[in-house]
Structure 1
Amino acid sequence: MRSKTTGIRYLAISMVATIALLTAACGNQSNNTNTGGNAEQDGKLSVVTSFYPLYFLAKEIGGEHVSVVNLVAAGVEPHDWTPKSRDLSTASNANLFLYHGAGLEGWVEDFQKGLSKDSGVAVKEMSEGIALIHAEEAEQEHEGEEVHEGEEEHEGEEGHDHEGMDPHTWVSPKSALVLAENIKNSLVEADESHKADYEQNFAALQDKLVAIDEEYTSELAGASKKDIVVSHQAFGYLARDYGLNQVAIMGLSPEAEPRAQDLLEITKFVEENDVSVIFFEELVSDSLAKTLADEADVETLVLNPMEGLTSDQEKAGESYLSLMERNLQNLMQALQ
């Protein structure tokens, strides 16, 4: 491991110089066709969701009575995605449009205004009832420490203002339970004739999410370490609900640009707090996290923010639940 006075400062300067290239690569991902096909199928309740976690939950709860279309295609980072005219048409022809809220979909207000005038689609916000984390709270969690985690400590986030909130609720099983219940209630309201089936499917999914929540609670409570260093500040709800301390290289948007001073302080934090793993994610470039890990002589692992599946994950039959389980396995490996 090279010295803090030379290697770390060189690392900070060189990584800041390459961030523009990394964020450009992140923004150049293609906006492919929608997951799930046409919103109108076989007389089923047609549901459109804004991103993958809502798509998964709606499919599980709706079962055979719903046809679900997800706007953001596999392999596309939701923070980078903006709707096209075909997406407006898809939503206008649906019975339900489910979006997360809490500032995740910065485009949603204009999107609603663009829906067809004769559309009968019901628009529902799914994050209602979740105790949201304010950006200011993320800063205050580390008050008095050298590492600055708050949104205002990072450059380049002007285009992704999350209304002062951390929108990444779904990374915590506790929040996922609230999202699932909100989806169930929306389906019942739109299609009361199949209420019993929606309730039954929800109960089965609820049992799985509760089991995962209990596993997270038990395993993480026994972990000897509590610090997680992540590439993207997407794990605030996970940290809050299970007693962890999140230190992020970049802010609430995965393309936010850290300052040289931020990188210097994070590298020091890794060295001084016996951090053995730096986490990266799969839908954006891992170069910055891996460069920092190489400099600090630590390993890298995936901690998936579950904003969407990659094409390979989709083909392999991966799901939100399997990603939850893998996240816990990687967390426990890092926190021993």
Structure 2
Amino acid sequence: MKIFLISIFLIIQSYAYEVTVSILPQKYFVEKIAKNKVNINVMVKPGFSPATYAPRTSQMRKLSKSSIYFYIGVPFENAWLDKFAYSNKKMLMIDSSKNIKKLEMLAHEHHEEEHEENHEEENHHEDDEEHTGLDPHTWTDPSLVKIHAKNILEALIKVDEKNTSFYTKNYNSFIEELSLLDNKIKDILKDKKESAFMVFHPSWSYFARAYHLEQIAVEKEGKEPKVKEIIALVKEAKEHKIKTLFVSPQFSQNAARKIAKAINGTVLSVDSLAYKWDENLLNIAKTIKNQ
């Protein structure tokens, strides 16, 4: 029986086509829609930074067999997308974040305006904040993931039209899951009076905007804060009654630990690039609620 099941699995795998994505959350999205119709290769492996990542030779070999590459706007793509396209001229190059108007990457952000379902309007703030390019972390807002899902659906159908109904059915189910997740987070945060949360790297701008929160970033222009800046951050954390600092595993926790010690708080490792991106959002919402 075991041998039979393995044989069936291998047959299914042999009919699946190759798809490559930049980061793990995209793998989650593609799997929700394509299921076992595709084999998904992920460029940025766990623990690595999408700012400086360089693909391995084995990944480039898999890329040469891919029917679709889904990119998303993370920094390493700037140096590699043209090379990817050149290495496999038959491969569709699809921006899964297409039609999302991205926010500027800011060191310190406030989002208190009304939450729009499709986020087509971008909020600009006239504070003394440094603009450091467009923020790619659109997957931290479930409503924006719906746009990713639509782009993924259209690409899958273009490559594999005969399975249109299969992909569409899975897409519709995924959209329902995203709405449920969005409502769960809103319910968790509905009675929260203090809206600020502190992170090392400002990866949660879209999450902050979606749920009317204030994201306070520890790093300044990609660098750890100086002593004077840490003192100011400690003061700000106390003013907002912040007790938890969120740090992605790709970054140093030194500055966050200093601030946490000064406010009698804790440092919580939360990976914005994790495959289980939805669990991350729920955990962050619950932590913000309870601090």
Deviation at 1:90, TM superposition (A): 1.7
Alignment partner, residue 289 of structure 2: 332
Q: 184, 203, 222: which one pairs with 2:153?
A: 184
Structure 2: which amino acid aligns with 1:272?
A: E
- 5+ long unaligned stretches in structure 1: 1-39, 153-163, 310-318
Q: 241, 246, 253: which one pairs with 2:210?
A: 241
| 1:61-105 deviation digits (Å, cap 9, x = unpaired) | 101211111122233232331123333322121111111126563
Which structure exhibits the higher relative contact order, with contacts defined as CA atoms closer than 8 Å and separated by 6 or more residues? 1
* SS of the residue 1:42 aligns to: helix
Instruction: Find out whether 1:124 has 2:94 as its counterpart.
Output: yes
Instruction: Find out whether 1:80 has 2:52 as its counterpart.
Output: yes
Is 1:89–1:115's contact at 8 Å kept on the other side of the alignment? no
- 1:132-151 to structure 2, matched below 5 A, reads 132-135=102-105, 141=125, 143=127, 150-151=130-131
TM-score (norm 2): 0.81
- 5+ long unaligned stretches in structure 2: 1-11, 110-123
Deviation at 1:142, TM superposition (A): 7.4
Aligned residues: CA RMSD: 2.6
Alpha-carbon distance in 1 for matches of 2:76, 2:56: 17
Alignment partner, residue 201 of structure 2: 232
Deviation at 1:247, TM superposition (A): 0.5
Is 1:188–1:198's contact at 8 Å kept on the other side of the alignment? yes
Alpha-carbon distance in 2 for matches of 1:96, 1:252: 34
Alpha-carbon distance in 1 for matches of 2:22, 2:221: 18
Alignment partner, residue 256 of structure 2: 289
Deviation at 1:333, TM superposition (A): 1.9
TM-score (norm 1): 0.71
Alpha-carbon distance in 1 for matches of 2:70, 2:39: 13
Q: 170, 190, 202: which one pairs with 2:171?
A: 202
Number of residue pairs matched? 266
* SS of the residue 1:130 aligns to: coil
Alpha-carbon distance in 1 for matches of 2:105, 2:278: 27
Q: CA 1:215 to 1:187, structure 2 compared with 1: closer, same or farther past 3 Å?
A: same
Q: 43, 46, 63: which one pairs with 1:71?
A: 43
Alpha-carbon distance in 1 for matches of 2:142, 2:199: 19
Structure 1: which amino acid aligns with 2:204?
A: F
Is 2:63–2:84's contact at 8 Å kept on the other side of the alignment? no
Alpha-carbon distance in 2 for matches of 1:165, 1:285: 23
Alpha-carbon distance in 2 for matches of 1:225, 1:248: 17
Alpha-carbon distance in 1 for matches of 2:231, 2:279: 35
- 1:203-222 to structure 2, matched below 5 A, reads 203-222=172-191
Aligned residues with identical type, % of pairs:
20
Is 2:197–2:216's contact at 8 Å kept on the other side of the alignment? yes
Alpha-carbon distance in 1 for matches of 2:76, 2:247: 20
Instruction: Find out whether 1:266 has 2:233 as its counterpart.
Output: yes
Is 2:53–2:76's contact at 8 Å kept on the other side of the alignment? no
Deviation at 1:202, TM superposition (A): 1.1
Alpha-carbon distance in 2 for matches of 1:243, 1:74: 30
- 1:14-33 to structure 2, matched below 5 A, reads none
Deviation at 1:270, TM superposition (A): 1.3
